[in-house]
Chain A
Amino acid sequence: MAIKTQPVTVNLGPQHPSTHGVFRMRVMFDGEEIVDVEPVFGYLHRGSEKLAEERTYTQIVTLTDRMDYVSSMLNNQAYILAVEKLAGIEPSPRGVWLRMIAAELQRIASHLVATGFLIQDLGALGTPLIYAMREREGILDLFEMLCGARITNSYLRPGGVFMDAPDEFWPALDRGLDDIVRTIDELETYLSGNEIIFSRTKGTAVLPPELLINASITGPMLRASGVDWDLRHRAPYDYYDKISFERKLHTASDNYARYWVRIQESRESVKIIKQCIEQIEPGSVRPSFDDVPRLIRPPVGDAYAAIEGSKGELGFYLVSDGGIAPYRMHVRASSLINLTLLRDMLIGGQFGDLFVTFGSIDLNMGEVDR
């Protein structure tokens, strides 16, 4: 005898401990199986693209900080590269090395947040999360030494960075790198030694690489399915062609693979920072104001520049009409585009996997909504 069942619609509302920000999902499920998902976002939409049309190119750096607020340096870097391409600015070498160090440190911090919150969502009531956040505090202290701010840094300027690193930064960075490696080892032992994490994350939400590429998904999600696409390697910007690093790939493309890729990438970022420290030379960190004036007026035209952000390809498209503010700024938000396959990942799965899968996409609502 077949039991008549009825699917239930539940609203996992914008205020929820596990949705990584203000994100709403209307989930319809039948028992434990998810039948339909409708994501609703826009709760954090602040109109950054429209605001950018009213601000000078240097003022927009502060706007970009706040988009993906756990990876401010990376947002800055993408935007500044677009400005330099648009205006034809030649950046100063020491500034480039410094911003590469800042970007890689920020990538480690962002991956620590992602991994810590995965394990939190899996149910370990905060213990590994606190270890990850404690390490992130170390990185934020380094940023405070560099530019005075911890989270929304606004450190980069067209042509370089705005302030040189103080003398106490370099020994602190060496100590910080040792701490980071130790914490990553701890987190990796936790991830790779725990049966419960294996059984919760292995084999769930598998996506084939062709579907990922068709959905414009890049970053750790793509590398977790075996595609060797990393913009630092394929389309090097700054001085990434003078650095050698491995791209860590996983082939399973499930939730475990995505987290594995982020942990391994953090190790590679540490290697990149060490190579930057070796190769950096003294000099000025930004061009003089005779070469690059405070108020830039780029020539009429447009430019698109993309970097490998912590969530994928983060690009800025700038259109200039010759004035001191851009005519149009568009952000190619990696988090928004990574959300494209949410329904594919969730429908047919279990309710217990909902937040684990959602966390494995590693979203940041500031970037999704801008």
Chain B
Amino acid sequence: MSTVWSGTALAEAIEAFAPGSVESSAGIDVWLKPESISAVCEGLKTRAEFKFDLLSSLTAVDYIDHFEVVYHLTSLPMNATAVLKSRVGIGRTDASIASVVSIWRGADYQEREVWDLMGIRFEGHPNHKRIMLWEGFPGHPLRKDYVTYDQSIVSTIPDATGGDK
């Protein structure tokens, strides 16, 4: 049975080798500061108490005033999983974060997809191009403020408060 790292325990362990890199933690999530992603991920992969050698998933979510990059990590030797998050682009300006391709090669296509669809830059990615859409496509479609070509399509799903989106 695989174990899930608890957020607080993981945050303490990360602070132990990279102090000042954790913003907060709750449940199974740890929020890191964007500038410390490289150092923390390097440590999580190589240090003996973590051994996170498989990056399961790298994705991003658009919370209107900021973006959040989410990393799901798996450790094969210890059969454990963990979740890292990082808030970037506060105020929706200048959304960029260090690339982890040099640590986990599996981040290659996933980071390109986040750049393509969400518009977050990954500093240090060797092939920082769009992957699904063509170069020259206007905008980043998965953003919440993306305006589609056809303005006549109106959403009919009510949002959480019961009103219309």
Contacts and interface: CB of A to CB of B under 8 A. Distances in A.
Given A41-B132, A324-B158, 18 more contacts: A50-B142, A56-B157, A214-B105, A215-B104, A215-B106, A215-B108, A216-B56, A216-B105, A216-B106, A241-B1, A304-B83, A306-B56, A317-B59, A321-B160, A323-B157, A323-B158, A323-B159, A340-B109
Q: Chain A interface residue count: which class?
A: 35 or more
A332 B79 CA distance: 19
A47 interface: yes
Interface stretch (A128-136, A146-154, A227-235, A277-285): A227-235
B157 A325 contact: yes
A336 B109 contact: yes
Given A306-B56, A323-B157, A328 B105 contact: no
Interface string A220-238: 0000000101000011100
Contact of A49 (B54, B55, B104, B117): B117
A64 B105 CA distance: 27
Contacts of B53: 213-214
Contacts of B1: 235-236, 241
A340 B106 contact: yes
A330 B57 contact: yes
A213 B76 contact: yes
Nearest to B27: A301
Contacts of A337: 106, 109-110
B43 interface: no
A214 B106 CA distance: 6
B72 interface: yes
A348 interface: no
A41 to B, nearest CB: 7
Interface string B91-115: 0000000000000111111100100
Nearest to A210: B53
Contacts of A270: none
Interface in A203-222: 211, 213-218
Interface in B134-165: 134, 141-142, 155, 157-160
A54 B157 contact: yes
B62 A42 contact: no
Contacts of B108: 215, 340
Q: Max chain B CB contacts within 10 Å: which of A216, A218, A315?
A: A216
A327 interface: yes
B70 interface: yes
Q: Chain B interface residue count: which class?
A: 35 or more
Given A42-B133, A369-B132, A50 B141 contact: yes
Interface in B49-94: 53-57, 59, 61-62, 70, 72, 76, 79, 81, 83
A324 B157 contact: yes
Contacts of B57: 304, 315, 317, 330, 332
A235 B70 contact: no
B56 A332 contact: yes
25 contacts: A42-B132, A49-B117, A54-B155, A213-B53, A214-B53, A214-B104, A216-B106, A218-B54, A234-B79, A304-B57, A306-B56, A315-B72, A317-B70, A317-B72, A319-B61, A323-B159, A324-B157, A324-B158, A332-B56, A332-B59, A336-B109, A336-B113, A337-B110, A340-B108, A341-B105
B40 interface: no
Contact of B160 (A54, A215, A322, A336): A322
A223 B134 CA distance: 35
A141 B105 CA distance: 41
A45 interface: yes
A166 B83 CA distance: 42
Given A55-B157, A313-B56, A323-B157, A45 B142 contact: no
A267 B160 CA distance: 47
A340 B101 CA distance: 11
Contacts of B56: 216, 304, 306, 313, 315, 332
Contacts of A252: none
B157 A328 contact: no
B66 to A, nearest CB: 14
B41 interface: no
A339 interface: yes
A304 B82 CA distance: 11
Nearest to A339: B109
A47 B62 CA distance: 16
Contacts of A339: 109
